[in-house]
């Protein structure tokens, strides 16, 4: 009997030693948070807010935000895709890395679902706008003007494969307009998209709300609608897409999510799930997200995967229609 008991104790001891290191008090060392875009952008700000406020819900963990930029975010994304699945290298994913890029690049080095998805973090609404002195006052006015003179109106984008271009093209597709019914003028950044609209180089643009709110408040631009279900506090008089008669434009939003390498241990996933649930109620974190123009959007891993799938499929179809797949 004693021999059998000793054997059982030995077996359980070995089993305990063989459990992944992540399961033994995760996190036991600093966690690298890979941000695949440059400092000051949406993903960078969102990632640093996460590191600042979630730490206390993970045993006062230490986070190392790391900007690994390049190739539309794919360099940093692949670094996490190929990292050890121990929970110590995590990814701040964006719409660009997990919806647009995999749909745009036929030879993308990863698929949208090659990751352990943990949660969305925030949503970034878009606004479609015109100059304040434009005769176009509604989305329906814009549609009518495009139909009257196909190819005459221009809109600004940050490039063919960017969300600014996708937003304007999707808006036209909802009215059955051809991709060239209005012409996209491509600039280098989201900031230049707004500058071109202010300068009258283009007649309309759809851009991240954070870059347009101040210009609409000042009276330099007129918003046609915002892609949220409810009006945003910063512009309470601006119609939602649904109120403007284009409800499907609610699908056009920027977003940030937390993901890990494929095959994260269950214990790590559970620690993050609990920490993110607590973070979702943290008023300081929520205020920080609102300050950078985001809407807190923490949800379950299953809901996150479903949402990312829908986003990927949306852009895959749109990119195919536009004929810009590379």
Q: What is the DSSP letter of 175?
A: T
Which of 310, 301, 306, 269 lies closest to 117 in space, CA to CA?
301
Helices marked H in 149-189: 163-173
**Does residue 195 register a pLDDT over 60?**
yes
Check if the beta carbon of residue 234 is closer than 8 Å to that of residue 250.
no
Percent of the chain with pLDDT over 70: 93
Fold of the domain spanning 28-124+253-322:
D-Maltodextrin-Binding Protein; domain 2 (3.40.190)
Distance CA 326, CA 322 (A): 11
Check if the beta carbon of residue 73 is closer than 8 Å to that of residue 241.
no
Domain ranges of the chain: 28-124+253-322, 125-251
**Does residue 130 register a pLDDT over 80?**
yes
CB atoms within 10 A of CB 116: 23
The reply to whether 125-251 shares the fold of 28-124+253-322 is yes
Q: Is 61 helix (H, G, I), strand (E, B) or coil?
A: coil
Q: Is 178 helix (H, G, I), strand (E, B) or coil?
A: coil
In CATH, what number does 125-251 get?
3.40.190.10
| pLDDT for 24 | 56
Place of tokens 């999707």: 170
| pLDDT for 196 | 96
**How many CA atoms does the CB half-sphere of 71 hold within 13 Å?**
13
**Does residue 162 register a pLDDT over 80?**
yes
Which of 247, 185, 235 lies closest to 210 in space, CA to CA?
235
pLDDT band at 293 (very low <50, low <70, confident <90, very high): confident
Which of 177, 166, 157, 159 lies closest to 315 in space, CA to CA?
166
| pLDDT for 325 | 86
Least confident of 99-103, 247-251, 292-296: 292-296
Mean pLDDT of 246-253: 96
Percent of the chain with pLDDT over 90: 82
């Amino acid at each position: 009997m004693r021999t059998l008991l000793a054997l059982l104790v030995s077996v359980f001891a070995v089993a305990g030693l063989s459990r992944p290191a992540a399961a033994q008090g995760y996190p036991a060392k600093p966690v690298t948070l890979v941000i695949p875009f440059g400092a000051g952008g949406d993903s960078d700000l969102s990632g640093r807010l996460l590191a600042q406020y979630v730490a206390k819900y993970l045993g006062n963990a230490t986070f190392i935000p790391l900007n690994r930029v390049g190739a539309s975010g794919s360099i940093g994304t692949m670094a996490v895709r190929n990292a050890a699945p121990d929970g110590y290298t995590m990814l701040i994913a964006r719409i660009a890395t997990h919806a647009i890029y995999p749909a745009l690049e036929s030879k993308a080095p990863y698929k949208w679902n090659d990751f352990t998805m943990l949660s969305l973090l925030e949503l970034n609404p878009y606004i479609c706008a015109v100059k304040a002195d434009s005769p176009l006052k509604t989305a329906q006015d814009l549609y009518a003007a495009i139909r009257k003179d196909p190819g005459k109106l221009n809109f600004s984008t940050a490039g063919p494969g960017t969300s600014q271009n996708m937003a304007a093209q999707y808006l036209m597709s909802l009215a059955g307009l051809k991709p060239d019914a209005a012409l996209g003028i491509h600039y280098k950044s989201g900031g230049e998209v707004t500058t071109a609209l202010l300068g009258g180089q283009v007649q309309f643009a759809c851009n991240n709300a954070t870059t347009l709110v101040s210009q609409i408040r000042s009276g330099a631009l007129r918003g046609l609608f915002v892609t949220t279900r409810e009006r945003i506090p910063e512009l309470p008089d601006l119609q939602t897409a649904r109120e403007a008669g284009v409800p499907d434009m609610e699908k056009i939003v920027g977003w940030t999510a937390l993901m890990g390498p494929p095959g994260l241990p269950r214990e790590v996933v559970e620690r993050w799930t609990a920490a993110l649930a607590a973070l979702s109620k943290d008023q300081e974190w929520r205020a920080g997200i609102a300050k950078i123009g985001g809407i807190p959007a923490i949800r379950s891993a299953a809901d996150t995967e479903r949402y990312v799938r829908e986003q990927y499929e949306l852009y895959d179809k749109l990119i195919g229609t536009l004929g810009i797949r590379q």
